[in-house]
Structure 1
Amino acid sequence: MWGCLLVLSLLASGSRASSFLSIVMIYDPDLNDTVAVRYKVASRNTCSLPHWTCQLEDCPSTSLFWYFPGEDCQFVGLSHYNLIQFPHLVLNLDDHQWINVTNNVTEVVAVTRVSMLRRSDTGRINVSPRANVLPVLRVPSNCKRNVTLPTFDPDGDVVTCRYQNVTSVLKLLPDCKMIFTPDSAIAEGAYAVQLIMEDFPRQNITLSNDVGKKLLLTREDAIGQIPIQFVLQVDSPVKSCVEEPAFSPPTPANGDHLYTSVNKTVEISIHLLRPVSGNLTLLLSGPVTMSQSIIDGHLVLVWTPSETDLNLSQAVCFALETVEAALTTRQSEMRCVIVTVHPGVVVAMRASVQSLFPLSVEDIRGFALTQQLKEGLVTLGLPSDIMLRLVDYSEKSTATTPLDGE
């Protein structure tokens, strides 16, 4: 549970310490002509309050920090910026230093770029991709492993990743998939991974505001930029490269999209493919009010969104870690799912059903016909967890129309 809630200005001072682990940042348009910026900063052993500077001379914002003490300390922050004051917003995280890493990176450089102008295609401020990652990911030095970041963008933009500083440890593809390939030249130890995630429009768009400022963007122009930084721990070799622990259905697949609504609890069930030896730990990065429990012998992530989560999409990332008798630490793949909080939707519709035989209300309520109607509504854009209820039924005619050839 989080230890305390602090209300501070964005420019609250932090302390320089060699303890930095990770940073993830996203942003969304909010009420009253503001943009909400959300971020997570993790550090090892000591807790250093995130220290941000703004590229503009004056960048005031009231921020909330949720503080999670522990071996790996985490700050989760929420800040609001007014659109009228800032046509463009550039935030820099500084006064932090990485933990001792093998690739000799020391200073933390994390930059977020937000365009505060309205898009011509959506009519609103740009929404960033739903980035997330666990602070520390582990791979055995002798096994090939894939690391895939979430690339969901609420605006439907193309999402790509590139290195801020190139690292030889992970091969990075433009779709934000990273590949670790065993190599005798790669030393065991911790590596700082510093990525930049950007979103690009699928067609030419114009960004503008109410005072006449306009900017034309093509499909080659990034709309925004967010940092994703974490530690990759390259561990000693293992006897078998079979992934342990490993997930099995009904654990959601990486990239799955889940829907819920305000005050409706969503549960993410996590199942193991095989029993594991040693102590098992769940690693999680998600909403601050998300908890875990044991239901029917399986780990379950539980979250009930509030009004403040309405219309937001959040990436929830998780992995399992086990420490075996020989003190060997093994980590599963990281999986990330998108959870969207949508308004409760009531659709009033009139449907005409033709049948070769008379239908009763029980027939229409039957699973097969209801399922077909539901699938049709989902293809029209409604959430996959919609519930159908028959509220009226009138039998107009029992006559049938012969099919061609009959």
Structure 2
Amino acid sequence: MPLPLLLLLLVCSSQASHYHGTVMTYYPKNTNADGSMTVELQYNLNFHCSLDITSWTCPSNNCGTVSSEVAHSVTKDSSPFEWCQRDGIISLEGPTNAPFQLLLSGGDWINFIRNSIGSVKAVTLVELRNRSDTNQANRSPQTNILAVVRVPSNCPRDFNLLTFDPDGDQVKCRYANSTLSECDQCTPPSVLNLSTSCTLSFSPTDSINEGPWAVQLVMEDFPTQNITLTQTDGVQTTITTNNAISKIPLQFVFNVDRAVPSCTEGLYLPKFLPPTPDNRAQLYTPVNQTLEISINATANISMISDLLFSGPYNMNQTTLGAGQFILSWTPSENQTGKSHPVCFVVQAVFNSVTYQSELRCVIVNVGYDPYLIPIFVGLKMKVSALSSLSEDYIIDNIIKVVRAEMLSQGVPSDFPLSLIRAKLV
């Protein structure tokens, strides 16, 4: 079945103001003997709960065919920002590992967006060619976000967005660009400053700027050294440290609320307490074992009402008491070897006004736990070459092959790996 037909989330019969944002990431699954490639696309789509008319399509019709697709929707928040999230996983089979683009469009952003953005558009560039540094297909950066993040107009706050790349690449952020056809209306929110390291900074502003703003970001991965990408037909392309490899969209609503009597965390604004994990922390869990993430927060004046989170579709939330929550998740076999982003905020209410804590996001790696005791592996290899090879060259390539296999099994890219002793004959 052609991709544009199967990727439709709902038939679009009319324009509507419903959209709250999206995130899409991807993981290559395998390269088949005939050169075809299978990739798993993972997306979150946030929308007003009574409407869902947005669709992912393949404009160039070169994305292959869909072998499977699953999607789950759940209500995440209540008025005035009632939104639902659709978590989708699409397995896509292409004839080669050539790059392709996916386009999200249909409908409009929610009403009263302050930076005058109406129509929905987001672009994902899927790059699956084989990398010379890992000897594997490229993987996209991993990130997540909530549909709506909010801050009082008189409170400064930095949003350090989640940036994790399974290949160890440097991740950078920028606003979507109309010249690159990444958005139809590309006006950035004037109340935010964006760094290339993916930190959004908000400074106190006048009440005239209160209300919802559309944030349309592009997240890209850059290699830390020059690499070569090899296509199925043998064609090679050199990528320098100044060239982006792939790109994913990161779009959401940023709401500037009315001023709060005090910006001190723990009074009106919820404050996280231990053992809540730090922002950008990396967590590890084996397959079929339940991971529990404890989240504690306090607010002395306002009353903590709930926890909002975005993570794997089968992650569950338990409320233990005021400001005490647990997120639990049991990964399955098909989720091993992958990294799964989870973002959350705690909300509190005072006199019918809602306040959010800072945004925190973590990465959950499914597979090997690097904090266990060291593992020693004995290897016996026979190397043949047409010309003489230096000892350093052989050792470096042995480590490269071993690291590539470890990455494929879910070991983080920054895991220390060294060759204790080598005997060359």
**TM-score calculated relative to the size of structure 1:** 0.80
Please report how far the alpha carbon of residue 202 of structure 1 lies from its aligned counterpart in structure 2 after TM superposition.
Answer: 0.5
> Deviation digits for residues 27-84 of structure 1, max 9, x if unmatched?
1111353111100001124231541221323543242221225741221111122343
Q: CA 1:56/1:85 → structure 2, altered by over 3 Å: closer, same or farther? A: farther
| 1:264 paired residue number | 289
Provide the C-alpha distance between the structure 1 equivalents of 2:89 and 2:173, rounded to a whole number of angstroms: 24
SS at match of 1:308: helix
Q: Partner of 1:118 in structure 2?
A: 130
Structure 2: give runs of 5+ residues left out of the alignment.
Answer: 77-81, 177-185, 378-411, 418-425
Cα distance in structure 2, aligned partners of 1:36 and 1:120: 22
Partner of 1:25: 24
Equivalent in 58, 62, 74 of residue 68 of structure 1: 74
Kept after mapping to 1: 8 A contact 2:73/2:85? yes
Determine whether 1:57 maps to 2:57.
no
Counterpart position of 1:174: 196
Q: Deviation per CA, 1:351-390, whole angstroms, max 9, x where unpaired? A: xxxxxxxxxxxxxxxxxxxxxxxxxxx999389xxxxxxx
Identity over the aligned pairs, expressed in percent?
A: 42
Q: How does 1:6-405 map to 2 (within 5 A)?
A: 9-11=6-8, 13-15=10-12, 16-31=15-30, 32=32, 33-59=37-63, 60-61=65-66, 62-69=68-75, 71-85=82-96, 87-100=98-111, 101-164=113-176, 165=186, 166-184=188-206, 187-243=209-265, 244-275=269-300, 277-295=302-320, 298-324=324-350, 326-343=351-368, 381=415
Does structure 1 conserve the Cα–Cα contact (< 8 Å) formed by 2:299 and 2:348? no
> CA distance change for structure 1 residues 216 and 184 in 2, over 3 Å: closer, same or farther?
same
Counterpart CA distance in 2 for 1:94 and 1:183 is 32
Whole-Å Cα distance in 1 between the matches of residues 147 and 105 of structure 2? 18
In the alignment, the residues of structure 2 paired with residue 303 and residue 379 of structure 1 have an alpha-carbon distance, to the nearest angstrom, of 23
Matched residue of 1:131: which SS?
Answer: coil
1:372 maps to none
Larger radius of gyration: 1
Deviations 1:139-185 (A, max 9, x none): 10111111111111110000000011322121001100000111227
Provide closer, same or farther for how the CA distance between residues 210 and 168 of structure 1 changes in structure 2, counting only shifts above 3 A: same
CA distance, structure 2, for counterparts of residue 138 and residue 12 of structure 1: 28
- Equivalent position amino acid for 1:56 in 2: S
- Give the direction of change, closer, same or farther, for the CA distance of 1:380–1:159 in structure 2 (3 Å limit): closer
Give the partner amino acid of 2:352.
L
Q: 2:141, 2:163 within 8 Å by CA — same for their partners in 1?
A: yes
Q: Distance in 1 between matches of 2:50 and 2:280?
A: 33
For 1:187, the aligned partner's letter is: N
Whole-Å separation in 2 of the counterparts to 1:232 and 1:282: 18
Instruction: Give 1:177's aligned amino acid.
Output: T
- Cα deviation per residue 1:7-45 (whole Å; 9 max; x = unaligned)? x81145532321100101111111353111100001124
- Cα 1:171–1:382 change in 2 (3 A) is same
- The answer on whether the counterparts of 2:310 and 2:344 sit within 8 Å (CA) in structure 1 is yes
Counterparts of 1:382 and 1:304, CA distance in 2? 27
Tell me the residue number matched to 2:420. none
Letter in 2 for 1:127: R
What RMSD in Å do the two structures reach over aligned CA positions? 2.5
Give CA-to-partner distance per residue, 1:324-368, whole Å, 9 cap, x none. Answer: 1x1111000010011000147997769xxxxxxxxxxxxxxxxxx
Q: One-letter code of the match for 1:153? A: D
Aligned mates of 1:286, 1:67 — CA distance in 2: 12
Opposite residue 83 of structure 2, the aligned amino acid is D
Verify the 8 A CA contact 1:47 1:74 in the aligned structure 2: no
- Relative to structure 1, the CA distance from residue 317 to residue 276 in structure 2 (aligned partners, 3 Å threshold; closer, same or farther) is farther
Q: Distance in 2 between the 1:48 and 1:119 partners?
A: 37
| Structure-2 change in CA distance of 1:380 and 1:334 (3 Å) | closer
Alpha-carbon distance in structure 2 between the residues aligned to 1:346 and 1:82: 39
d(CA) in 2 for partners of 1:294, 1:52 = 35
For normalisation by structure 2, the TM-score amounts to: 0.77
Aligned partners of 2:208, 2:236: CA distance in 1, in Å? Answer: 48
Inter-partner Cα distance in structure 2 for 1:69 and 1:332: 20
1:391 is aligned to: none
- Runs of 4+ that moved beyond 6 A: 344-348
The 2-side partners of 1:22 and 1:37 are apart by 17
- How far off its partner does 1:292 sit? 1.4
Distance across 2 between alignment mates of 1:349 and 1:252: 30
Unmatched 5+ stretches in structure 1: 1-7, 351-377, 384-406
Q: Distance in 2 between matches of 1:273 and 1:279?
A: 7
Residue 278 of structure 1: how far off its partner (Å): 2.8
Deviation at residue 200 of structure 1 after TM alignment = 0.3
